[in-house]
Amino acid sequence: MYPTPAWEAFREPYDRLPIFDPRLIAFQNFYIGGAHECTLNRRGRLAIPPNLRLYAALTGEIVLSAADTKFRIWYREIWNRAFTEAEQVMIGQYPGNDDDKLS
């Protein structure tokens, strides 16, 4: 999920593309076509539209994780796997990671 300023910065490069550019069309179909403005309800809950819950496989307990200028919403079981994989990459134990270290 993108806060409005981050969303505007994310989409800005696409606004400069010609209207028939395949990258713009793909962006519009995927991101713009699936975008929903979400607000908190009276109880302070974020209402995620059913089609986005289905797409993200949000069928149970969820996790919110920070991701720079946005945050991500995960089904807990998928988040646990993604976190473990990221942890392994960061500590250098991921297969094939020997040549790709940042340090």
**pLDDT per position as a tens digit, 40-54:** 889 988 888 888 888
Does one domain contain both 62 and 30? Answer: no
Provide mean pLDDT across the span 55-82: 90
Does one domain contain both 25 and 55? Answer: no
| Residue-level pLDDT at 28 | 92
- Report d(CA 29, CA 78) in Å as an integer: 25
Q: State which residues form the domain around 25.
A: 1-35
Does one domain contain both 30 and 53? Answer: no
Question: What domain count does the chain have?
Answer: 2
- For residue 64, is it within any domain? yes
pTM check: above 0.75: no
What DSSP character marks residue 8? H
Q: Cα torsion at 13, 23, 78, 84 (round to 10°)?
A: -70
Does one domain contain both 29 and 57? Answer: no
Does one domain contain both 25 and 58? Answer: no
Q: Spell out a b/e string for 39-62, using b for 16 or more CB atoms within 10 Å of the CB, else e.
A: eeeeeeeeebeeeeeeeeebeeeb
- For residue 63, is it within any domain? yes
Does one domain contain both 87 and 56? Answer: yes
- Report d(CA 38, CA 53) in Å as an integer: 13
